[in-house]
Amino acid sequence: MKTAIIISKKDKAGMNIYENLKDLKNVFLMEEDSIDCDKVEEADSYIFATKHQSVSGKPSLLVHVPGNFGKAEYGGESKKLCKSSRYLKDSYLLLKKLNKNENYEVSVESVHHGPYLDKEVMFIELGSNEKDWGNKEEGELISKVIKKILKKIKKYKTVIVLGGGHYNVVANKILERTEYDISFICPKHYLEELDEEMMKQMLEKSHNKVEKIVLDYKGLGKSKRKVLDLLEKMGLEWVKSKELLTTS
């Protein structure tokens, strides 16, 4: 499988990470912002190494799959998801293992922003402000993770997570404590956009067959009834995250 690493020349964190990836032949520098890179080198899967920006400015090491459950406000296409990435779990676990700086939080994010590519795509991000984007140690750490996952990854059973926050605590626990990988995360604030078509997209675009739908039951908010009715209508079995974490 050919995997291309995409880095925007405009991205300070991306170029920081690139300093330790120059020896790889499958790294491609782009003129556009990462979220707008919908015309890229032909490959089977993509890893975007980028900055992460947040209001809190909290130092972070993050992974996620791109896509839009609703309107495309930051690249990509409205109500279109990229295929999920087989690299996500191992990337997350390696970030946790190799990170020695306690100030940096490691997390998986829910699905958000562009670009839209009909291939497996993962973003791996360094955040969350100018100082962090230029942090040489953390940039090197991310480059090490990328090199390691390109050499070897494990195969896991796969689940979809519904509910919870953008920085998804339940998903983090699943990745750390269970044998399951995660293809897609639809957080509480996007559940109103979740319909049969989007659910089908998640199932069809998962990199592995989906074994379970996992609900952050308390994190479904006002959309709980809607989600339960949708899953029943589609004949999809689900499990509460608490039960999965207890039995795994």
Q: Kindly report, residue by residue over 146-202, the tens digit of the pLDDT.
A: 999 999 999 999 999 999 999 999 999 999 999 999 999 999 999 999 999 999 999
In this prediction, residue 207 carries a pLDDT of: 97
Contact of 23 with 15, CB cutoff 8 Å: no
In this prediction, residue 247 carries a pLDDT of: 86
pTM of the model: 0.97
Query: What six digits make up the tokens of 88?
Result: 């996500």
Q: Domain segments of the chain: what residues?
A: 3-151, 157-247
Mean pLDDT of the chain: 97
Domains 3-151 and 157-247 share a fold: no
Whether pLDDT at 55 is above 90: no
CATH tag for 3-151 (out of 1.20.140.150, 3.40.630.50, 1.25.60.10, 3.30.70.270): 3.40.630.50
Handedness of CA 129, 133, 139, 143 (dihedral sign): positive
User: Could you please report the per-residue DSSP string of 89-136?
Assistant: HHHHHHHHHH---TTSEEEEBPS------SSEEEEEEEEESHHHHT-H
Residues 6 or more apart whose CB falls under 8 angstroms from that of 201 comprise 80, 81
Contact of 86 with 52, CB cutoff 8 Å: no
Domain covering 157-247 assigned CATH 3.40.50.10700 in the classification:
yes
Confidence band of 248 (pLDDT split at 50, 70, 90)? confident
Q: What is the mean pLDDT of residues 193-222?
A: 98
Q: Kindly report, residue by residue over 80-114, the tens digit of the pLDDT.
A: 999 999 999 999 999 999 999 999 999 999 999 99
Report the distance separating Cα 218 and Cα 248, nearest Å: 20
In this prediction, residue 46 carries a pLDDT of: 98
Please, what is the Cα angle at 21 between 66 and 90, to 5 degrees?
50
